[in-house]
Amino acid sequence: MPSAPPSAPVVPLERAHIGIIGAGQLGQMIALAGMALGHEFTFLDPSPRPPAARLGRHIQAEFDDAAALEQLAVECDVLTFEFENVPVAALAPISQIQTLHPGTHALAIAQDRLEEKTFFGQHGIPVAPYAAVDSLDDLRAGIDRLGLPAVLKTRRLGYDGKGQFVLRTRDDAEPAWAAVHGQSCVLEAFVPFTREVSIIAVRSATGEQAFYPIGQNRHVGGILHRTDVPTEDSAQAQAEDHARRVLTALHYVGVLAIEFFEVDGRLIVNEMAPRVHNSGHWTQNGADTSQFENHVRAILGWPLGSTARTRPSVMLNLIGQMPDAQALLALPGTHWHDYGKEPRAGRKLGHLNITAAHEADCQAIAARAEALIFGTAPL
């Protein structure tokens, strides 16, 4: 286990006041877990009525509002974020006056696809071939080197498939470059993957590390649609090894998610998110300790809870509009999570966790649930 970084708290915080930058559903679920542990929360978020606001004090301000961030830092015992696109420049000053987990170093790397790939490469974590793109000429040179199809992604501010363009022919280069409006990009070689998996890892301020069983993810239109957590996964050891390198190299504190493509049994990293992650929502009902509780434990320097899967689990996202809760909850082993958001196409409004004593039952219920969800809320 690595030694803790000099800035880590050595005295664990009990009944802490935790500040979260961002008050969406991730902040909401962190707070629901943290309040049961006796902590209180303040959120900074520009929205007038974000999902988490009911769970504590809400400072309504932009993510780069220096005065509001300072207020949050002074008021709270420790800070974290639920959203990785917070400007690092805005967080740097407050990280001087208050503990921020994960730190700005991890955040800066995760915000920039080029830096992220460089970091993975430096730490022996396989990445798909890529090229930096700052001009149409760069893009054409990248296509020559990597071949087609390939994916052009903006270096910054991409999530849920936003800021991504698939190039299938050389003629796609010009419109794709126009679409990114001159933003710095990376071109990624297309990876003929057999499946997408992700690992939720966590490191406490004490240096203790833990890893959840990996989830197998299905995306639809760039948005996570479903996560399955098989009993034993051949890729678990690889994923843990990669995640351990990242946690250790960054002296990381909190929950970290890493998404991978599996190609011929080998994991190639796609990207990481320095926060709790949608592909870990199954842990609320299917693991001994949820990712949300472990994030809170980690940033306070508490011992981590067991990451063991207690039962076969499937998570289905509820996107765009909420389906019929009654019909879904009449299925055995279903667990409803509603973020209280207004419906909007493509918006994550909630999720359904499905648990069962046996894998086959879990799969059968998931199939029936998907039929009900698609029947009322097609993606």
Which residues sit at the interface with its own copies, rule CB under 8 A?
12, 14-15, 28-29, 32, 35-38, 40, 54-56, 284, 288-289, 297, 302-303, 305-306, 310-311, 322, 325-326, 329-330, 332-340, 350, 355
Shortest Cβ 87–its own copies spacing (Å): 30
Closer CB to its own copies, 27 or 158, in the complex? 27
- φ and ψ at residue 103, rounded to 5 degrees: -80, 175
d(CA 70, CA 91): 9
For the bound state, the minimum distance from the C-beta of residue 6 to its own copies, rounded and expressed in Å, comes to: 21
Give 15 or 195: the residue with its C-beta nearer to its own copies. 15
For residue 152, what are the contacts with CB-CB under 8 A and spacing of at least 6? Answer: 133, 139, 164, 165, 166, 167, 176, 177, 180, 185, 186, 187, 188
Taking the complex as a whole, the smallest distance from the CB of residue 314 to its own copies amounts, in Å, to 15
Shortest separation between residue 38's beta carbon and its own copies, angstroms: 3
Q: How many CA atoms within 13 Å lie on the side-chain side of 16?
A: 24
Closest distance to its own copies from the beta carbon of 13 (Å): 10
Helix crossing, 25-36 with 291-299: angle to 10°? 70
Closest by alpha carbon to 23, among 93, 72, 96, 89?
Answer: 72
Rounded to a whole number of angstroms, the minimum distance from the CB of residue 307 to its own copies is: 11
Backbone phi and psi for residue 266, each to the nearest 5 degrees, phi listed first? -110, 135
Q: Which is nearer to its own copies, 147 or 303 (CB)?
A: 303
Interatomic CA distance for residues 187 and 179, integer angstroms: 14
Distance CA 290, CA 372 (A): 26
Residue 1 or 330 having the CB closest to its own copies: 330
State the DSSP string of 185-241: EEEEE----SEEEEEEEEE-TTS-EEEPPPEEEEEETTEEEEEEE-SS-TTHHHHHH
- Residue 81 and residue 78: Cα distance in Å, rounded? 11
Q: Which is nearer to its own copies, 274 or 350 (CB)?
A: 350
> Shortest Cβ distance from residue 335 to its own copies (Å)?
7
Nearest to 239 by CA among 200, 296, 286, 195: 200
Question: What is the distance between the alpha carbons of residues 112 and 196, in angstroms, rounded to a whole number?
Answer: 21
Return the number of the residue (260 or 302) whose C-beta is nearest its own copies: 302
Name every residue whose Cβ is closer than 8 Å to that of residue 271 and which is 6 or more positions away in sequence.
110, 113, 116, 258, 259
CB of 202 to its own copies, least distance (A): 14
For its own copies, which is the closer residue by CB, 92 or 330?
330
Between 36 and 179, CB nearer to its own copies = 36
- What is the radius of gyration, based on Cα positions, of the chain? 20
